[in-house]
Structure 1
Amino acid sequence: MKAITYVGEEKLSLKDIDVPQIANGEALVKVSYGGICGTDMMIYAGVHPRAQSGLVMGHEFSGEISEVKGKSSFKSGDSVAINPIRSCGTCVPCKSGNYHICENLRYIGIDLDGGFAEYVKIPIENLHTLSNQVKQDEAAVIEPLAVAIHTVRRSTFKVGDTVTILGAGPIGILIGIIAKLSGAAKVIISDISDYRLKVAASYGLHPVDAKEKDLIEEVKETTKGIGSDVVFEVAGNQITADQMIGAIKTQGEIMVVSVYKKPPMIDLAKMHFREISLSTTRCFSPKDFEAAIQFIEEGRIDIEGLISHRLPVESFEEGFQLVKKSTDSLKVLFKL
C-alpha cells in the first residue's frame, strides 16, 4: 500500500509498505481522506519532540472498516471516524477521566503509524460509527472540530460574550463557529490571509485584516473601549502573543490554543495589574469527539466551506507546501 512517511526535516516520502496486520481487538480501516494539521507541519519541519523518522503521518482521517478481529459491533463496510488519542488509563489524569492529558499520551499519526496511508490498524475502542449522510471528506474534519469544541468548553465563554480569535486557520474558524453557535454576541477574527478572512466572513465572523488594521484598536472600537471577554490565541507567534493582552478586557480570559515552536515573551506585568487570566487547552475529551460527530451528522456546520483542497496522495509535497504558505489554503485533504 502507499503511505506518506516522515523522513527528516522538510523531507517526506511516498513509500510502498505492507498492509498492517491486525490483532484481536483491532480493525483494519481503508482510509478515505486524511487532513494536514498544524501538528503535521511541526513534524514536517523536524521540530516535533516525539515523531520519529519512518512514521506514517496523519491523525485527521476517515475511512471504512475492511476487517475486524475480536468481539465487536463493527463490521466490514462501516463508515467510521477515528479518535487518534491513545491513553494509558492508569495515570492520575486518566483515573480522573482526563484521558486527553494522559501523562503517557500517544497519538495515532504522531507516536503510532497514522492515516496518510491506504490502510491503518486501529483499536476498536477508537472507532465511531458514522451515519450514511456524513461524507467521508467531512468526516476527516471531525478531529479538529472536536478540538474547537473542547477549546470553547474549557474557556469561561458565556452567552452574549464578545470573542476575539487570533488566527483564521481551520481551528480558529471552527472555534469562531462554535462560539457563534453557542451564543457569542460578536466574534472578531484576525489574520493576514485575504482568502482565510473571506471564508471566516462567510460563516458570520467579523474579519480583521492584520496587514491593514490595528487589531487592538479594532477590538476596542467594536467593544466601546472595553476589550473582548475571551481571546483565543490560535496563531502561535510573538505578534499574536503581544496582541492577546491588548485585546482582552480587564479580568478577561486568554485561552492559548497554539503549540508554540519557540517560547514567546509574555508581559506578565500587564496581565497582573488587570487581573487577566491565562488558560491553555490540549486535544479533546471523548465527549467533545462525540459532540463533533453529532454536529456534522445534524448538518449544523457547513464543513464544505473549510476544505480548500482535495489532492491525490501522490501530490503530498504540493499539499504540505500549500499549508506551509497558508495564505491560499485552509483544510488540505489527501484522497487515499
Structure 2
Amino acid sequence: MKAITYAGKEKLILEERNVPQINVGEALVKVNYGGICGTDMMIYAGVHPRAQSGLVMGHEFSGEISEIKGQSSFEKGDRVAINPIRYCGECEPCKSGNYHICENLKYIGIDLDGGFAEYAKIPIENLHILSNHVREDEAAVIEPLAVAIHTVRRSKFKVGDVVTILGAGPIGILIGIIAKLAGAAKVIISDISSYRLEVAASYGLHTVNSTEKDLIEEVKSITKGIGSDVVFEAAGNQITADQMISAIKTQGEIMVVSVFKNSPTIDLAKMHFRELSLSTTRCFSPRDFEAAIQFIEEGRINIEGLISHRLPVESFEEGFQLVKKSAESLKVLFKL
C-alpha cells in the first residue's frame, strides 16, 4: 500500500508498505480521505515532541472496514469515522472520565501509524459508524469539528454572548459556526488572509482583516465599548496573545485553543485588574465526537465550504506546501 511517512524535519516520503496485519479487537480500514492538520504541520517542521521518524501521519481521516477481528457490532463494508485518541484508562483523568486529557494519551497519526495510507489498523473501540448521509470527504473533517464543539462547550459561553475568534483557520471557523448555532448574538473573527475571511463570511461570521482594520477598535465598536464576552485564541502567535486581553470585556473569558510553537508573553497585570479568566482546551471527549457526526449527518453544518483542496496522495508535497499558504488554502484533503 502507499503511505505518507515522516522521515525527518521537512522530509516526507511516499513509500510502499505492507498492509497492516490486524489482531483480535482491531479492524483494517480502507482509508478514503485524510486531512492535513496544524499538528501535522508541526510534525513536518520537525518540532512535534512525540512524533518519530518512520511514522505514517494523519489523524483526521475516515474510511471503510475491509477486515475485522473480534466480536463487535461492526461489519466488513461499514463506513466509519475514526476517533484517533488512545488512552490508558488507569490515570486519574481517565478514571474521572476525561479520557481526552489522559496522562499517557496517544494519538493515531502522531504516536501510532495513522490515516495517510491506503489502509490503517484501528482498534474497534475507536470506530464510529457513519450513515450514507455523510460524504467521504466530509467524514475526514469530523475530528476538527469535534475539537470545535469541545472548545465551545468548555468555555463559559452563553446564549446571546458576543464572541471574538482570533484566527480563521479551519478550527477557528468551525468554532465560529458552533458558537453561532449555539446562540451567539455576534461572532467576530479576525485573520490576515482575505481568502479565509471570505469563507468565514459565507458562514455568517463578522470578519475583520487585521491588516486593514484595528481589531480591538472593531470589537469595541460592535460591543459599545464593552468588549467580547468570550475570546477564542486560535492563531498561536504573540500578536493574538496580546489581542486576546484587549478584546475581552471585564470579567470575560479567554479560551486558548492554539498550541503555541513559541511561549508567548502574557500581561498578567492587565488580566488581574479586570478579573479576566484564562482557560485552555485540548482535543475532545467521546460525546463531542459523536455530536460532530450527528451535526454532519443531520445537515446542520455544511463542511463543503471549508474544503479548499482534494489532492491525490501522490501530491502530498503540494498539499503540505498549500497549507503553508493561508491566502490560498483552508482544509486540504488527500484522496487515498
Range class of TM-score, shorter chain: over 0.9
**What is aligned with 2:313?**
313
Measured against aligned partners, the alpha-carbon deviations of 1:231-277 in whole angstroms (never above 9, x if no partner) come to 00000000000000000000000000000000000000000000000
**What is aligned with 2:89?**
89
Separation (CA, whole Å) in 1 of partners of 2:205 and 2:7? 39
Separation (CA, whole Å) in 2 of partners of 1:243 and 1:29? 43
**What is aligned with 1:186?**
186
Q: 2:288 aligned with 1:255, yes or no?
A: no
Deviation at 1:325, TM superposition (A): 1.7
State the identity %.
86
Structure 1 portions without partners, runs of 5+: none
Deviation at 1:59, TM superposition (A): 0.1
Equivalent residue letter for 1:260: F
Separation (CA, whole Å) in 2 of partners of 1:6 and 1:172? 27
Separation (CA, whole Å) in 2 of partners of 1:325 and 1:137? 21
Structure 1 length normalisation: TM-score? 1.00
Deviation at 1:326, TM superposition (A): 1.9
Separation (CA, whole Å) in 2 of partners of 1:326 and 1:315? 18
Measured against aligned partners, the alpha-carbon deviations of 1:268-314 in whole angstroms (never above 9, x if no partner) come to 00000000000000000000000000000000000001000000000
Separation (CA, whole Å) in 2 of partners of 1:326 and 1:31? 26
Structure 1 segments (4+ residues) deviating >2 Å: none
**What is aligned with 2:39?**
39
Equivalent residue letter for 2:39: T
Separation (CA, whole Å) in 1 of partners of 2:6 and 2:317? 12
Aligned residue for 1:262, secondary structure, equals: coil
CA RMSD of aligned residues (A): 0.4
**What is aligned with 2:67?**
67
Deviation at 1:133, TM superposition (A): 1.1
Separation (CA, whole Å) in 2 of partners of 1:210 and 1:136? 35
**What is aligned with 1:157?**
157
Structure 2 portions without partners, runs of 5+: none
**What is aligned with 1:135?**
135
**What is aligned with 2:229?**
229
User: Between Structure 1 and Structure 2, how many residues are aligned?
Assistant: 336
Separation (CA, whole Å) in 2 of partners of 1:93 and 1:327? 40
Separation (CA, whole Å) in 2 of partners of 1:150 and 1:239? 25
After alignment, is 194-203 or 325-334 more displaced? 325-334
Separation (CA, whole Å) in 1 of partners of 2:35 and 2:277? 33
Separation (CA, whole Å) in 1 of partners of 2:326 and 2:115? 22
Q: Within 5 A, what are the aligned runs for 1:161-176? A: 161-176=161-176
**What is aligned with 2:322?**
322
**What is aligned with 1:286?**
286
Deviation at 1:72, TM superposition (A): 1.1
Aligned residue for 1:41, secondary structure, equals: helix
Measured against aligned partners, the alpha-carbon deviations of 1:131-154 in whole angstroms (never above 9, x if no partner) come to 011101000000000000000000
Deviation at 1:329, TM superposition (A): 0.6
Q: 2:200 aligned with 1:200, yes or no?
A: yes
